[in-house]
Amino acid sequence: MTKNLNINDLVRADGGVQDRRIYWDEDVYQMELERVFARSWLFLAQDSLIPEKGDFLTTFMGQDRVIVTRGEDGQVKAFLNACSHRGNIICRADSGNAKNFVCNYHGWAYGSDGRVSDIPLQDEIYPKSFDRSAMDLRQVRVESYRGFIFGTFDDSAPSLSDYLGEMGWYFDTFMDVPGGSELLGPPTKVRVKANWKFFAENFVGDFYHAGWTHAAAIKVIGGPLMGILGNQATPQGAMQFGTKYGHGFNAAPGTDEVFPHIHQGHIAEMWEDWVRQRTPVLKERLGDERATLYNAIWDGSMFPNTSFLRGIDTWKVWQPRGPREVEVWTWTLVERDMPEELKQGIRHTNEKTFGVAGILEGDDGENMEGNTQTAEGFITRDQPLNAEMGIGWEQLDSDVFPSMMSEPGDNEAAQRNFLRMWRTMMTSDSWDEIMASRSKEHKK
């Protein structure tokens, strides 16, 4: 379709203008699977989803199927979910508990470490020279951050902690609370005919759409979000952040009296009590800046395809299914020490607003499909897209907040930062190159 793609021509160097083929073209997508998904840290699981020895779940890294399992030693491992013999899917369950995984085709078995544990009749049908150890399943490099488990196929990638960089500092606002945070599953899943990047960008920095796209739901839910209804005002005191490797978020902080969240009724009161009681603890533990961000509504993404909302408390992965289709996986984000009633209430809010029948989620899906599908027109596809909102207002490492920060919250600084990371990954041959390029940009 599009031969000899020059990625540098598809996204302007500052990220502010994009060629629509990056959201449409099959060749770009295949290159993304290789250069972005096979080299980045991707979300796999959370400790709470596989708490016991032998617990497993199956998921995707890009379009690679993987099994994530907690072994007999309590360590989490991940490996390809494709038999080394003839390539069949090994495990077709979404989750469960198993000591080993047996392929349906010829009965080859693999342990919870992904190593081959049985090849039926091996001694009679394979020569002595057969290299059985080469049949072990391709391992994923697994690391976790505060109980959130990520994997990469690239041994030359920086550590997960370095890859998160300053985003880890921000994540600590809710991940490093006493007891930590956890996810409630299993994930709900829904297929949307849109390019995955439109969702990741929407979550990384698009506050601007909330008051308009979600006007109907905001009007019904009411509360502190009413101020942005119909895009009549930008959210007061909101800020936008972007970190070195493309992660970013918006945050609109509340005050001692105002709690920006979309929980309702009794659960809203429980949430506010919880925040009120936790804030001084966090002030002590993490300092004033993050205590302020703790009582804030956030939307954010971790490059490339993990997103979250705080104050709604959703955690999402955009699983790519080709350039024009994505599978949206959704979990609920809660603090481990919260009372069970509050956790279930938060789950309910998340499902009601950002679940498969969520009263806000549906609005987004429709937009993302539209963004993607109009590019089927030859002339339409040739029209660039724009993300220049707030361009030039970014500041690096302000006295208060690390990384790139910009105001007001209605801004596309984080989207541009995300797209620059994407451009760098797509055009760099090694992580050394990626690190050098991104460090240069994020050096004050």
Catalytic residue among 106, 118, 382, 432, which? 106
Element (H, E) at 182: strand 181-192
Active site residue 131: no
106 is catalytic: yes
| Contact residues for another protein, defined by CB under 8 A | 92-98, 184-193, 213, 215-217, 219-221, 264-265, 327, 332, 344, 347-348, 351-352, 355-359, 361-363, 365-366, 369
Catalytic residue (choose from 172, 364, 410, 442): 364
DSSP string covering 79-98: EESS-TTT---S---SEEE-
**CB of residue 34 vs another protein: minimum separation in angstroms?**
25
At residue 205, φ and ψ (nearest 5 deg) are -160, 5
CA quadruple 280, 281, 284, 289: dihedral, nearest 10:
-60
Q: Do the Cβ atoms of 419 and 410 come closer than 8 Å?
A: no
Distance CA 105, CA 88 (A): 7
Cβ neighbours, 10 Å, residue 322: 14
Characterize 287-321 residue by residue with b for buried, 16 or more Cβ atoms within 10 angstroms of its Cβ, and e for exposed: eeebbbbbbbbbbbbbbbbbbbbbbbbbbbbbbbb
Structure tokens at 6: 């020059």
Taking the CA atoms of the chain, what radius of gyration do you get in angstroms? 22
Asked if 429 is an active-site residue, the reply is no
Active site residue 266: no
Query: Taking the complex as a whole, how short is the minimal distance between the CB of residue 114 and another protein, in angstroms?
Result: 19
CB of 214 to another protein, least distance (A): 9
Residue with tokens 């929980």: 263
Nearer to another protein, 314 or 411 (CB): 314
Tokens of 161: 């902690």
Distance of closest approach, residue 96 Cβ to another protein, in angstroms? 5
Whether residue 36 contacts residue 45, with contact meaning beta carbons closer than 8 Å, is answered with: no
Q: What kind and span of H or E run contains 171?
A: helix 166-175
Residue 60 CA to residue 33 CA, distance in Å, equals 12
- Return the number of the residue (291 or 309) whose C-beta is nearest another protein: 309
Separation CA 63–CA 83 (nearest Å): 16
Shortest spacing between CB 236 and another protein, in angstroms: 22
From the candidates 85, 176, 209, 348, which is the catalytic residue? 209
Q: Of 25, 64, 206, 299, which is the active-site residue?
A: 206
364 classed as catalytic: yes
If one counts every other C-beta atom within 10 angstroms of the C-beta of residue 429, the result is 8
- Of the pair 154, 366, the CB lying nearest another protein is at 366
- Residue 32 CA, distance from chain mean position: 16
- Please list the active-site residues: 106, 206, 209, 214, 364
